[in-house]
Structure 1
Amino acid sequence: MPYRQDMPPAGGFGALKYKRNLPFRGPGSFVILGGVTAICTYGFYRLGKGNLEKRELQREKIWSRIHLVPLLMAEGDRDAYRREQAAVAREKEIMKDVKGWEAGKSVYHSSRYRSPEIVIL
């Protein structure tokens, strides 16, 4: 028997179902564009409100620091005074045997006040 080719049945094959039978095709392009625009608008609105709140908190923090500066300077001055008095007391104790030594007297011959530049612990 010679070569025999496969052939379709008589009358051909049945039709193929390739269409989707969905009840709803989805929203149109204008509806999608409107939804995206609405979401973006709401997002920018919330971003603006957040920026205003952040700016207000930053302003509040700056003003609280401005109002705390005098208090912190006074605390620093009290601490410096306490340290200076402690240093004079130590100097008196160390130099008690040296005649003519005045504890706490400046070694500079000037009436101009100079804050101590070395922190003595």
Structure 2
Amino acid sequence: MSKGPYRRVHRVLDTSGWYCLAGEYHSCGQCAGTFVSYDHRLLRQLPDGRRGLFPAVLTQKLACDRAVIVHMRGRTLGNSPTACRNSTAELHDDARTALATSYYDCRRNQ
């Protein structure tokens, strides 16, 4: 049963930028507990196929989209955090360039 929105919104790192992930409180009738909709105790009850659809990996303070993790796995093992940051920054630059190019193409065709 839903008990309303959760007050904290996670800012999630994605390959094309950032997005926000919001949740809501749910109450359990059996244990009288209250859980956030993306709590790991709730997510692990889902079948593997459904659990894999959840878009992000969450920690206490940070969140990362699974697409970024998949992209980093393609790299060699032992990359430093700086190399991962630089690679993600390059992906963000590519996404911004593609967006700007499509904008200018639309303006030119008008």
> What TM-score results when the alignment is normalised by the length of structure 1?
0.25
> What TM-score results when the alignment is normalised by the length of structure 2?
0.28
For CA contacts below 8 A with separation 6 or more, give which structure has more relative contact order: 2
- Return the structure number with greater helix share: 1
Pair member with larger Rg: 1
- Return the structure number with greater strand share: 2
